[in-house]
Amino acid sequence: MAKTKSKTKFICQDCGYESAKWLGKCPGCSQWNSFAEEVVPTTSERIPSNQHPQGKPESIAAIDTGQEPRTSTGYQEFDRVLGGGIVSGSLVLVGGDPGIGKSTLLLQTSFSVAKQGKKVLYVTGEESSKQIKLRADRLQTIADELFILPATDLEFIETQIRHLQPDFVMIDSIQTMYLPHISSAPGSVSQVRECTGYLLRISKSLQMAIFIVGHVTKEGTIAGPRLLEHMVDAVLYFEGERHHSYRILRAVKNRFGSTNEMGIFEMRELGLSEVRNPSELFLAERPQGVAGSAVVASMEGTRPLLVEIQALLTPTAYGNPRRMAAGVENSRVALLMAVLEKRVGLFLQNQDAYVNVAGGVRLDEPAVDLGIAVSIGSSFRNQSIHPYDVFIGEIGLTGEIRAVSRIEQRVKEALKLGFHRCFLPIGNMRGWKPPEGIQIIAVETLQDAFHFALEG
């Protein structure tokens, strides 16, 4: 075969933008100094046709849509995020900060699957077999059906996969894998993109579930072009603070389930253990009788989650007051403070505001607005809220409390954890009967909520 002439391109290592010359600022993602020179062959080596999933056109009405078999990971929290278990032929990308526990999670999952009699191949490009064995001994995850392969050449790995015929494959990590016919270094945009496509063809042609670990950038996104997230079937992020023992597994893309689910784990001496009742965990250290603390009922997928929101307001020492939030968006806190000032009459222009969601959870849904607003008002007035009150509701710009979804599950979770009163939008009172044992206070405006929660 004649040697093909290669040419040089400059590729942004953050978004994959290609340029014929070096650029200081990427036109695609606006990052500075992100271009690296890569040698790209003009005609790439042809992938053998037997690696492509073959098929023929057929009527959509004639396609069999039988129940897709799923394999349990051995962890209910992991199964919840995946949509009920592992689907054969799926390609799953797991991302997270270094040292957060991605390798531990996949090693424990490999052991759980191997215990079910399934053959699992764990491919490591960053550690040796002895290092994996030492960690497996510490985590007590030794199984005969779990095989370790230290390798980075993806063509060699494919040969071993076809020889071993495993049911599941774990790749740790995609940034260490490379294809010999691509001249750029492992971890570059070209290598990561082509290696992911290569693994996708293996997964679909052999109907084999493959999990790949992806490192994240400083901004918290998967390293490499965003094309990776479009190629895989599911993208999971493993989040958590290093000084906290709790870890959250969240799906941002899932072709086989909901993208709103999350699983909660706790890092212990023997590895990760799942948290079955996260609401009780997040409220375990909640102080009582302290101003600025309120409990909200949020929905994460199909699971109701009760968490504490803390607010602290102090007179500012600067020209412009500070607005800082952890677990909720800064812009949302600023908007709610504007509503409080305009509709309730709280003078907050000279107050620094700090809002925090206890436990390191991130809340994105608007149903937690009422809890945030009440905690801010409680801190401003230095007046505590009743410790057994829970708040549900979205706040509009005119101060009205808007209805939210799945109110029944939220109220039942509050009742199960021993709360006495539940503040919710008046629009949610239609079409259901509140359970006995908890007092329902339906509010129409933010002023009504403040009257009952802080003055009543």
> Which residue ranges are tagged as binding site for ATP?
96-103
Show binding-site residues: 96-103
3-class DSSP assignment, residue 215: strand
Q: What is 128-142 written as a DSSP string?
A: -HHHHHHHHHHHT--
Query: d(Cα 166, Cα 120) in Å, to the nearest integer?
Result: 5
Q: Supply the angle between the helices 330-339 and 369-381 in degrees, to the nearest 10.
A: 60
Q: Dihedral through CA 373, CA 374, CA 379, CA 385, nearest 10?
A: -170
Percent helix, strand and coil across the chain, each to the nearest 5: 30, 30, 40
Query: d(Cα 214, Cα 230) in Å, to the nearest integer?
Result: 14
Q: What is 342-397 written as a DSSP string?
A: III----TTEEEEEEETTS----SGGGHHHHHHHHHHHHHT-PPPTTEEE--EE-T
Query: d(Cα 191, Cα 174) in Å, to the nearest integer?
Result: 9
Contact between 179 and 195 under an 8 Å Cβ cutoff? The reply is: yes
Query: d(Cα 263, Cα 244) in Å, to the nearest integer?
Result: 16
Query: d(Cα 167, Cα 117) in Å, to the nearest integer?
Result: 10
